[in-house]
């Protein structure tokens, strides 16, 4: 084989390797007669070894494709299963009152709990099809997806080892928040989900988790340790409501540090 042929073979191998590491499959579920879908990345080891799972929820008006591109947890943590669910059209609290764009239920009972049921179905499928490490299941999301992350913590909290909401608050107590490792991302110039609202949410989580004084934890971040093993990390960036591209590796770092006992 001449040199040119060797180069072609090498490039093909590299291309196939990159494609395999970034492959996302479209999965579908039927939830009470409604078709739901998500993009799912599954590492090969998930067939035989306990594997972490990260659920990542887009904001109101977003899509699973954009979430996969923006969050890219399957690239930052290729050893974990990454799930990017697609929301359905639903009225927004701060925007889109007619519900012409996709999003997530806001409280227990909203939209007939369609999204809580969707989450339950996705998790059940993953448990059936793969070797899931049930001590390392995580949830994150931005804006409306972050609010749904808080709602999942309130209603499905025992499932998760840690959660990481971004640009969001839990607008109404719709379940019992139990202490949990939390990373909260907020823009100090956020005028949509106002930063002062998020500060109130952060203070409530600090109190719930019985956190101590804060200490630096990387760029933009402060760690509030807890003797109960449920620390809070705040990641306060100097921007507005947009999700910063620097954040996903920070969230992955946090998730890797926390597993259920």
CATH number for 208: 3.40.50.1820
Judge contact between 87 and 115, C-beta under 8 A: yes
Is 1 part of any domain?
Answer: no
Is 10 part of any domain?
Answer: no
Number of domains in the chain: 1
Is 50 part of any domain?
Answer: yes
Is 13 part of any domain?
Answer: no
Please give the structure tokens belonging to residue 257. 């540090």
Q: Is residue 91 over pLDDT 70?
A: yes
- Residue 15: pLDDT band by 50, 70, 90 thresholds? very low
Determine the Cα–Cα distance for residues 155 and 116; give it in Å rounded to an integer.
9
Mean pLDDT, residues 122-140 taken together:
98
Is 217 part of any domain?
Answer: yes
Beta strand pairing status for 182-187 and 162-166?
A: parallel
Q: Is residue 119 over pLDDT 60?
A: yes
pLDDT of residue 171: 77
Q: Is residue 17 over pLDDT 60?
A: no
Is 43 part of any domain?
Answer: yes
**What pLDDT, in 10s, does the model give residues 155-171?**
999 999 999 999 999 97
Is 114 part of any domain?
Answer: yes
> Residue 239 belongs to what domain range?
25-256
Q: Is residue 130 over pLDDT 60?
A: yes
Q: 97: which residues sit within 8 A by CB, 6+ positions away? A: 91
Q: Is residue 208 over pLDDT 70?
A: yes
Share of the chain above pLDDT 70, in %: 90
pLDDT of residue 84: 98
Q: Is residue 114 over pLDDT 60?
A: yes
**What pLDDT, in 10s, does the model give residues 30-49?**
999 999 999 999 999 999 99
């Amino acid at each position: 084989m001449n040199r040119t042929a060797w180069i072609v073979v090498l490039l093909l191998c590299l291309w196939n390797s990159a494609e395999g590491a970034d492959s996302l499959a479209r999965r579908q579920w039927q939830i009470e007669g409604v078709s739901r879908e998500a993009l799912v990345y599954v590492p090969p080891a998930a067939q035989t070894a306990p594997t972490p799972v990260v659920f990542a929820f887009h904001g109101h008006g977003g899509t699973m494709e954009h979430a996969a591109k923006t969050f890219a947890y399957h690239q930052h943590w290729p050893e974990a299963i990454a799930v990017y669910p697609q929301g359905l059209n639903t009225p927004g609290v701060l925007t889109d009152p007619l519900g012409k764009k996709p999003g997530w239920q806001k409280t227990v009972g909203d939209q007939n709990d369609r999204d809580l049921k969707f989450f339950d179905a996705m998790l059940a499928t993953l448990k059936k099809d793969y070797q899931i490490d049930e001590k390392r299941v995580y949830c994150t999301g931005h804006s409306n997806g972050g609010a749904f992350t808080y709602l999942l913590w309130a209603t499905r909290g025992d499932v998760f080892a840690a959660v990481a909401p971004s640009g969001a608050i839990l607008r109404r107590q719709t379940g019992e928040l139990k202490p949990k490792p939390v990373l909260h991302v907020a823009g100090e110039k956020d005028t949509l989900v106002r930063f002062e609202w998020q500060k109130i949410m952060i203070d409530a989580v600090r109190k719930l988790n019985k956190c101590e004084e804060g200490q630096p934890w990387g760029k933009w971040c402060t760690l509030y340790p807890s003797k109960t093993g449920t620390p809070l990390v705040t990641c306060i960036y100097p921007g507005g409501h947009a999700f910063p591209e620097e954040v996903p590796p920070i969230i992955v770092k946090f998730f890797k540090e926390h597993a259920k006992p």
